[in-house]
Amino acid sequence: MARASTIRSVSAFLLGAVAALAALQVPAGTRIEIRLKSKISSQTAKVKDGVEAVVISPVVAGGEFLVPAGALARGAVEKVTASTKPDERSTLTVAFTELEFEGAKHRIAARIAAIDNARESVDEHGEIAGILANETLSGRLDAGLGKLAERSSGFADILSTVKKAVLHTPESDIAYDAGTDLEIELTAPLELKAAAGPGPAAKLVPLPMKTRCTTSSTGRRFKPGRRDR
C-alpha cells in the first residue's frame, strides 16, 4: 500500500511538472493593440467605471498565437481629474484586468502605454495627462490675436470673429471616442494553459488567381496552357 501511494504521489508530481512546462507565458512588458468599444472622457468618467476594448492585432511568440485578434480586454477607470482652470491639466488612468477569448477569461495586469494620434501624453505609470488650454490651436491663436490687438484692434476683432466661426472654444478635457486605438502594456506575466488561435484571421480565404490572357503575334488572344490552333 505504501509503495502504491508513493507511486501515485510521484506520478501526480510528474504530471504537474509536465503541465507547468507546457504552460505558455506572455511576459511583462508585452504590448497589446486594442480598440475602444465606447467613448471615455475625463468630463464624465468616474472611478470604477468599466472600460471595454477589442484586441485588433494578435500577440504571437515562437510562432504561436498567444492572444488572438478579437479578444475582449476589460478594465476600469482607476483615477480621473477634470480640468477646472486654464493652467490645470485633466488626468485619466485606466487599469486593464481581464482578457477574454475562446470562451475563457484570463486575469491580467496592464496599463495604457500609447494612444494613436493623441494630443495627450502618457507617463510610465499609465496616467494620461491632458493639454492646457493655451496649448491648443485655438489657445495659440488667442495669444496671437491678443498681441495683434495692441497694434490694430479693429483687424484683431475681425480675425477673432472668423476664428469663433471656424474653431470651437479650447477644451483641455481628455476624450476618446469608440474606435480609438490604444496600446496596453502588461505589467505582470500572463500565464496561459495553451496557445490560442489567430482569431478572425483564420476565416480569411485566399482570393483565386485570375487567368490572364495574352496576345499572339497574329493578334489572336489565348489563355496560357491552351494551344493556338
Residue 200 per-residue DSSP state:
G
pLDDT per position as a tens digit, 184-203 = 999 999 999 888 777 765 55
Judge whether residue 22 has pLDDT over 60.
Answer: no
Given a contact cutoff of 8 angstroms between Cβ atoms, the answer to whether 192 and 60 are in contact is: no
Q: Does residue 62 sit in the same domain as residue 39?
A: yes
Domain-embedded: residue 112: yes
- Same domain, yes or no, for 72 and 166? no
* Contact by Cβ (8 Å): 211, 40: no
9 pLDDT higher than 60: no
109 and 178 inside one domain:
yes
Q: Are residues 81 and 161 in the same domain?
A: no
The Cα 43–Cα 62 span in angstroms is 43
Give the pLDDT score at 134.
67
Verify that 124 and 144 share a domain, yes or no.
no
Say if residue 37 is in the same domain as residue 141. Answer: no
Q: Are residues 161 and 57 in the same domain?
A: no
- Tell me, yes or no, whether 98 and 184 share the same domain: yes
Quickly state the pLDDT bin for 18 (edges 50, 70, 90).
very low
Same domain, 144 and 127: no
What confidence tens digit (pLDDT) does each residue in 31-78 have? 999 999 999 999 999 999 999 999 999 999 888 899 999 999 999 999
d(CA 164, CA 169): 8
18: three-class secondary structure by DSSP: helix
Mean pLDDT value across the chain: 77
Residues 202, 65: contact at Cβ < 8 Å? no
Q: Would 55 be classed as within a structural domain?
A: yes
Q: Do 36 and 143 share a domain, yes or no?
A: no
| Residue 3 belongs to some domain of the structure | no
pLDDT-based confidence at residue 3 (cuts at 50, 70, 90): low
CA–chain centroid gap for 211, Å, is 40
Question: What phi, psi does 95 have (nearest 5°)?
Answer: -105, 130
Q: Judge if 144 and 58 occupy the same domain.
A: no
Instruction: Dihedral sign for Cα 141, 142, 145, 147, please.
Output: negative
Q: Domain range for residue 26?
A: 22-131+173-200
Which residue among 170, 189, 217 closes a domain?
170
Provide the pLDDT confidence category of residue 17 given band limits of 50, 70 and 90: very low
Name every residue whose Cβ is closer than 8 Å to that of residue 36 and which is 6 or more positions away in sequence. 51, 52, 53, 176, 177, 178, 179, 180, 181, 182
DSSP conformation letters of 90-148: -EEEEEEEEEEETTEEEEEEEEEEEETT-SSEE-TTSEEEPPPGGGSHHHHHHHHHHHH
The verdict on residue 117 lying in a domain is yes
**Structural domain contains residue 228:** no
Res. 211: pLDDT tops 70: no
Q: Which of 170, 188, 223 is the last residue of a domain?
A: 170
How far is it, in rounded angstroms, from Cα 53 to Cα 38?
Answer: 8
- Is residue 215 assigned to a domain? no
Question: Across residues 18-24, what is the average pLDDT?
Answer: 51
Residue 209 lies in a domain: no
Q: What is the pLDDT of residue 109?
A: 98
* Residue of 101 and 21 predicted with greater confidence: 101
Which is nearest to 106 in space by CA: 68, 143, 141, 80? 68
Residue bearing cell 501526480: 12
Residue 211 forms part of a structural domain: no
For 113-169, what is each residue's pLDDT tens digit? 999 988 899 999 999 999 886 655 555 454 454 554 556 666 545 555 654 555 454
Number of domains observed in the structure of the chain: 2
Q: Which CATH number covers residue 124? A: 2.40.128.260
55 and 87 share a domain?
Answer: yes
Q: Could you tell me the pTM of the whole model?
A: 0.66
